[in-house]
Amino acid sequence: MQVINLFPSTVNITDLLSIRRQRVIQISVVTGCGLFASLLAARGITFDIFLVGILSLLLSAVLAYKRYVATSSYLLLSAMSSMLFALSATGAGVFDIAMLGYPGVIIFAALLGGVALFGTVLSLVLLQCIGLTWLIMHGVVAPHPPILSWSHLLFVIVIFVVTGFSVFVLVQDIRRLMASLQREYTKVEQNRAHIQHLAHHDPLTNLPNRVMGERLFNEKLRESEESGLQLAVLFIDLDNFKPVNDALGHAAGDRFLQKISQTITDNLSANECLIRFGGDEFIVLAAQIKTRSQIENLCQNLIQWCSSEFEVLQTKIVVSGSIGVAQAPYDGVKFKQLCRKADIAMYEAKRNGRNCFEFYDVRFDEESDEKFSLIQRLRPAVQANALAVYYQPLIDLKTGNICALEALLRWPQEDGSMIFPDRFIPLAESSGLIDTLGAWVLNQACMFCAKQQQNGNSELSIAVNLSFAQFKDGNLPQIVKGALEISQLAPEHLELELTESILADDNGNVIQQLEQIKSLGVTFAIDDFGTGYSNLNYLRTFSAQKLKIDRIFINTLGFDEKDVPLVTAIISIAESLGMATVAEGIENEAALKKITEMGCDMGQGYYWSKPVPAEQIERLIEAQSPTNQR
């Protein structure tokens, strides 16, 4: 990752040394040229002073060229200052025209060095002026006022030219420095603006991100409140986006997100804006809302735009969108609060079939809180084996005897209430607890059945329901085998109940595991037949021993004939495939009589017993034993 330097230095150390070196050479050359011109008109000791000065300047230029910049600077300025002192001492003293050169020396010091050099030169100049004054006042040096001549004018011109040149160079350096500072300031502002943009916008789609979204929300909420209107937060989640990434790669997924976000943005009005919330989730802020129908129309349009066909990498891609809606001020006035509620409503839309929208309702929060509370209690309950296995008998309709038991899971509560599987099994599946829970139920059921066989019910079998989530890690065959080994139950007395959705799964891992379990000698039953895919091919290719007819087709038997043809057909199909049939949900004498006349093999329902704890089912089994019947 490239780090942007917000405050780069205007001139680095190397540049400063190079500029100072150039200035020493320039000043040495220009001043040397001026002294050479003055040398032509000089006589006597003045000639000697100029000659020494020229040699000193030449040496200073050479040292600067050799990159001894500090030494050359001190030599240049001390030589010029000493030369001016000598000229003044041999001339008119402090009134000599050579004194005009001291300001130039001070300017050179400011131009060529830092505080140390400038302070040294300024101190030297002041000491020379003070010393010269003292020497004149005590008669050590006698001033010689010059007689005005053209040579004096030449000396003045040389001093003005050299001083003017130094001032010109100094001003040019200042101008360049100011221009450099202005350029760097512009770069800093551009970098700052760029970073501000990155901090508030998504780098992929260039849409406002969550941080900017909250700022836009507050602005639009204030505008809506001032006009007495509503602000809607629409939470969009793209359905089936993951397969796009899996099939075409993340580069294609990114390109798709860019296209779909551009399409939505292009179609939104001035009062609506799109925000990328993260991943395949977006938020639309819709301000100035007067009626609910406006939001409904916008949701319908968004669903249509999300369902558009996009071409990425020469592949046509179509997804859909599920939308949750929360409104301000009805559902809250805080951005995060409304996003959470819209998110909850979006998941409700997904549960309702996807590609639709839902408005937030307070009951969604209640359900969410209840699920959160349940899952927090479920984990320790599973670890402590606080759940219970109940058993419901399956009755042989020819003999009226119990031929099998179905193990059903229950969660007893301390207050005497009961939590049923339809509430906690989905949570166990989503939280990863289903494997531990399923293995425990299987072990308990097998050991209970083995115990009943030891008590004389040698033909009794046990049925256990399987969840699709139990197939995910591929360990189910080993779990089943372990339960049989621990309980010493014969495999043919264990029956695993499968829903049609498990058989319909295309994942070869599921079918492979079922084949491994079948090879152990375990039997299978198809549960709730008629409510799922009801594909006869599954029955033909997968050799289950039982077909359980769902209770919704049994409840009305004996009172209503509408389901009789369907139940008759199911029994006939099962018989043709060599499968026994079980009628679930028999609750009255009329249903029992009708299903028996139709040729069903077994029945199950409250007519005989509801699911009960192990102790009660044992008494029920004992009551039908031949010894008790005599």
Strand partners, 321: 238
Q: Say what the pTM is.
A: 0.55
* In the block, residue with structure tokens 């320790």: 380
Q: What is the DSSP code (8-state) at residue 609? A: -
What pLDDT does 108 receive?
Answer: 76
What dihedral angle (degrees, nearest 10) is formed by the CA atoms of 95, 99, 103, 108? 180
Spatial neighbors of 254 by CB under 8 A, at least 6 apart, are: 204
Q: What is the CATH number of domain 386-629?
A: 3.20.20.450
Per CATH, the number for 210-360 is 3.30.70.270
Q: For 178-214, what is each residue's pLDDT tens digit?
A: 888 888 888 888 888 888 888 888 889 999 999 899 9
Distance CA 382, CA 611 (A): 20
User: CA-CA-CA-CA torsion for 6, 10, 13, 19, nearest 10 degrees?
Assistant: 170
Tell me the two tokens of residue 346.
Answer: 């979006």
Phi/psi-derived region of residue 152, left when phi > 0, alpha when psi is between -120 and 50, beta in every other case: alpha
Beta-ladder partners of 419: 411
Structure tokens at 350: 């997904």
Q: What is the DSSP string of 521-550?
A: T-EEEEEEETSS---HHHHHHS--SEEEEP
Tell me which H or E stretch contains 459: none
Low pLDDT (below 50) residues in the chain: 1-11, 627, 629-630
Question: What pLDDT is stored for residue 487 in this prediction?
Answer: 94
Grouping H, G, I as helix, E, B as strand and the rest as coil, residue 457 is coil
Point out which residues pair with 358 in neighbouring strands. Answer: 324
Cβ-contact 389, 444 below 8 angstroms: yes
Residue 193 CB partners (closer than 8 Å, separation 6+): none
Domain ranges of the chain: 13-177, 210-360, 386-629
For the chain, give the number of residues. Answer: 630
Q: Mind listing the pLDDT tens digit for each residue in 440-451?
A: 999 999 999 999
How many whole angstroms separate alpha carbon 160 and alpha carbon 34? Answer: 10
Distant-in-sequence contacts of 434-440, Cβ < 8 A, 24+ apart? 434/467, 434/469, 434/470, 435/469, 435/470, 435/473, 435/475, 435/479, 436/382, 437/382, 437/387, 437/409, 438/466, 438/467, 438/470, 438/479, 439/479, 439/482, 439/483, 440/382, 440/385, 440/387
Cα 520 from Cα 479, distance rounded (Å): 12
Q: What is each CA distance from 222 to 42, 79, 219, 235, 285, in whole angstroms?
A: 85, 74, 5, 20, 13
Give the whole-angstrom CA distance, residue 473 versus residue 435: 9
Nearest by Cα to 38 from 81, 83, 89:
83
Hey, CA dihedral for 612, 617, 619, 625, is it positive or negative? positive
Rounded to whole angstroms, the Cα distance separating 354 from 549 reads 30
Q: What pLDDT score was predicted for residue 1?
A: 37
- Amino acid found at 515: E
